[in-house]
Structure 1
């Protein structure tokens, strides 16, 4: 089915073609007509499926259908959880909009940088604002923009917005919006919290779910390699050199690990650099651009890069440290195998993370063989019993009931000794 069959204007069909969208993806084919009708939409599809264009194209057409506003008023608001995703969504909307007879003014705002240039950019208003919730509220408080004219609200990566603790800020933003508006929720996963939010905000929404099928799922080869924790850096260097990956995104648990492992690899002759929230916005933007330009071979990152980072033809992703949750695993490996390209996702599994890896496998319906690489065979053995503290792994902390039962058992034991 061509884009022209979805009800888009010739200008937007041309815009989609110019950006390399030959035919609509399943999420675009299902969501675009519903959005054009003015329906609330909940869109769920795997990462890399074209969700941004699925809401950006009809959003632009609906704005063009309205009368021109002078001064400009914010009529479309896109909320995202991270700076990187804000920049990426803003770039897509601008690129698609430049083909229109009256290109909309798109403002991209996020925290971590000075607010003054963003306030200057908003002088004269904007048609579309792509924002992180905190900075958006800052700008409202500075009277740099008003949200009373918003006709269309998009929550992109809705689950991450709540997961990152934006719930209070999100509620404050929602209170500033008109009651009559169109709402669009898009994400790769929809946990209970997001479903509850959707039920409270959306009016008879059209639910668009594109399941992972052999024909639509990214071509990602998933591997699990058993290795001692102390030898992961050496194994990573071996794999990069053996497979001659032009670029590889490596996920670690902490900013310190990103810095430390990057330094080890760089000293070993591999062009590696860290990427994490501790870097300035300018430094993060520079690292991403240089990585896209293949000036860095390896980027060590925290989960900051697990979503909203679109790097074309990225051949490999490595989980140096396992993600805390199965949902994060999906988003991490989704950085490769995008837009029909093949990719590989490697996870290092050590003795002390074996139980957590089995949990991820269970929740993702996986059963991967534990590979062993010659020269890196593990020598450590899994602990016989799980420790009382699990180091912050989601789903493995003792619950309040578990703690109460343990306290009651201890009290009974003490009473019996008396």
Structure 2
């Protein structure tokens, strides 16, 4: 029995050995991995040798200064590029101021002669009854002549027509021309005072409400003065309107007048003071000070305008204070004029946009209200459309040809 068990064990061992050989024979023998490569060691760069350890240097080709050739006469040497220098704007030569209104009379007459023609038509009637005189009065009032000047003119016309008797068109025209000239005042001094003193320039301050063309008028006035051979310094004291200083400086550059300006929203009185001081230092003939546009209802702003006047007068007397009025505003311009006259001593009036209204009687009304003459009139948008006021040329424009 023990012999049988031993035989079975031997048999099983033999079978397992045979099976392992078969399985082992079927497997492929994998190649052994290659041994790791030895790390590459990079030798440090050799240090330069000095002194006795230094080796001989390699021979190099050298040239003497005599062997170096210079560029020939025909050789082109590159030059650095020349950057273009911006050209200064050309200085314009304004038209002569004398006789401007005469040259612009046709433009003025297109808008103004309805007043003169209406009056001549009424006066030419065979019978001048009360209704006709009322129509004449209404025509004058509509043209903004004002109540008192209208009554004065109608009374004079009544007397002259009664004495004249028979009235021809030429006689009526001469009669009306003479009476209108009397109302406007041909003998008033209409020159803009810019003489100044021996060591100080003439100082002109320009005032007015917003929208009347005050800054533009200041620039155009500079052109009038330059045309008369005067040197001008502009003071941009309108510091509250952002574009005012730039606008005035552009006007000045066109005629070669320097503009003194300050920071935006700065003190206008300080700018005006500096402008006059610079004018004295440069020996300029005239200093024009453009002030901020004042609404006549704002008391604080009007007080500031008085401050500007007082500061400027520290250098010397103020020669001229020009009030700029928009002729198209009519009787409202008289309200503005009265308030300004209370703050500063107005010495002259500038009527702008006179070519844009048929109410030329405002010239008479504003002179009667302030007791100062109209000295300049604006008759368009052109740079030379500001003209000295000439009563005869104005009345001729009113009556037409």
- The higher relative CO (CA closer than 8 Å, separation ≥ 6) is in 2
Which structure has the highest helix share of the two?
Answer: 2
Which structure has the highest strand share of the two?
Answer: 1
TM-score of the superposition, structure 2-length normalised? 0.31
TM-score of the superposition, structure 1-length normalised? 0.30
